[in-house]
Structure 1
Amino acid sequence: MRFTSETSSNGVIERHFILDEITGVLWSPTSGTVGAPLLLSGHSGGMHKKAPGLVAGAFHSVTAYGFTVAAIDAPGHGDRPRNLQDQRWAEAIHQARAAGEPIAPIVIDYNMSLAERAVPEWQATLDALQALPEIGGQAPIGYGGMTLGVATGLTLTAVEARIAALSLGGVFVSDALIEAAGKITVPVEYRIPWDDEEFDRTSGIALFDAFASKEKILHAHSGRYNQVPEYERVSAARFFAHHLGRAADTASD
């Protein structure tokens, strides 16, 4: 892992890094992070590691709870080139949307391809992050994401024992994700965008039901998937603080 830049503002240090072909960013409190939980943040499809909502959530987690937060660009997103097949999927989605046709079948195939490629990249990133002295191998780990980030998070957590809690919301549900959810036993907070015509409520509830976790919470919020209320962002950080702990010197919420 090679850090390429570092900036600091409002108590948060932001460092960009490169790991082989992976491009990512790490946010941490200026007061130090030893022993603090590490959150992995998966961005939505078509977005990148510094999408506004992702950054806002990262800053809140860092400043309110002293967490460290990492995000990486999915294959073909952000600073990473898109291959020919990915370009075809993206064009098919735009064409279907323009024609008023369902995009779910295309997005499901595209997301699962991206998720399968992203899993070993997240594992390599996690190995590198745990090798940093300011994080270490004992830091409890959580994962949060939306849409593509959900598909990636479920696929990753089904095979990665280091992830101890999940906070997710909004995804096109497939049989593969239902199967992955059945392998997940860590605490889960799942959000459904109740008014989004593209996301079927019934499928979202079925996915929630499929989690094998003994502790799981279902939230439904008004609006579309990209209109997540601020209180949900606060809830996600509080959920992770409850299940992962937090830096001892942070203020009480």
Structure 2
Amino acid sequence: MRITSESVADGIREQLFSIGDIPGVLWTPAEGSGPRPLVLIGHGGGQHKKGWEVVSRAFPYVTSCGFAAAAIDAPGTGDRPEHPEIRRLVAIIQEREAAGEPFGPAWPQLNETVASQLIPDWQTTLDALQKLDSVGDSQPVGYYGLSAAGEMGIRLVAAEPRITAAVLGLIGSDWLIDTAARITVPVEFVLQWDDEGNPRDSVMKLFDALGSAEKTLHANPGSHFRVPSFEIDSSIRFFARHLGGPRTASNS
């Protein structure tokens, strides 16, 4: 791991890093040292590691719970080079969407293409982060990801035994049913009742397939991008319960 920049603001230390060709960012409390729980945060499709949906989660995890939080750019996004196959599949999907047609096989192909690189990249990143004094390898690890990051998260959580709790959702891919069944850690699953791209029946089917003994479905009215801000608070309480006690958030 190579730290490319470091800054401190509002009690949070931000370190941009690279691991080979993987660009990422780590947030930790500015004060204090020693190992701490870690939350890996995925970003939405076409977004990047410092997008709003990542930062709005990462900062409260650091300030409320004293956790470390980390994100990396998915293939073809952020500081990654352009990925020709991803670009080709996205163009097909956008063309079909504009025509009001089903995405067809391009959608699962896109997800498989991204996952084939992103899942190993997350595992490599976790290896490197756990070697840092500010994270360590003795503390639990969580994962947060909705939408495209939920698609990747189901695959990652099923494959990575170091992840012990996850917030997932906004995804209803039938091809993930068998993968979801392999997940046994506690899961908080988010559903938007009027999600135009993920019908509620498909999302609930995927939730039902999760093999976790402890799983909770959070269903809210509204479209895909209208997840209520209080779900952030809920995720703080969830990770506080399963990764370690927070300093300021309630354990309820």
TM-score range, shorter chain: over 0.9
Counterpart in the other structure of 2:38: 38
TM-score (normalised: structure 1)? 0.94
Structural mapping, 1:176-187, within 5 Å: 177-187=176-186
Write the distance in 2 (CA, Å) between the matches of 1:157 and 1:252.
25
Instruction: Name 2:193's counterpart in structure 1.
Output: 194
If asked which structure has higher relative contact order (CA below 8 Å, sep 6+), I would say: 1
Aligned residues: 250
2:65 is aligned with 1:65: yes
Match of 1:106 in 2: 106
Structure 2 length normalisation: TM-score? 0.95
Q: Where do 1:137-156 residues align within 5 Å?
A: 137-156=137-156
- 1: CA distance, partners of 2:91 / 2:19: 29
The structural deviation recorded for 1:172 is: 4.1
Q: Secondary structure at the match of 1:234?
A: helix
Match in the other structure for 1:210: 209
Q: Distance in 2 between matches of 1:194 and 1:54?
A: 22
- The 1:6–1:90 alpha-carbon spacing in structure 2 relative to 1, beyond 3 Å, is same
C-alpha displacement at 1:102, in angstroms?
2.5
Runs of 4+ off more than 6 Å: none
* 1:53-91 CA-partner distances (Å, limit 9, x unpaired): 210111111111111100000111111122221111111
3-state SS of the aligned residue for 1:146? coil
Residues in 1 aligned to 2:33 and 2:146: alpha-carbon distance in whole angstroms: 26
8 Å CA contact retained: 1:108, 1:172: no
Q: 1:90 to 1:245 in 2, by over 3 A?
A: same
The answer to whether the Cα contact below 8 Å between 1:116 and 1:155 also exists between their aligned partners in 2 is: no
Unaligned runs of 5+ in 2: none
Task: Mark the runs of 5 or more structure 1 residues left unpaired by the alignment.
Answer: none
C-alpha root-mean-square deviation of aligned residues, in Å?
1.4
166-175 or 64-73, which moves further after superposition? 166-175
1-side partners of 2:146 and 2:113: how far apart? Answer: 16
C-alpha distance after superposition, 1:109-142 (max 9, x if no partner):
2122211211111111000000001111111100
Cα distance in 2 for partners of 1:144, 1:198 equals 20
* 2:26 corresponds to: 26
Q: What is the alpha-carbon distance in structure 2 between the residues aligned to residue 43 and residue 33 of structure 1?
A: 27
CA distance in 1, matches of 2:100, 2:146: 23
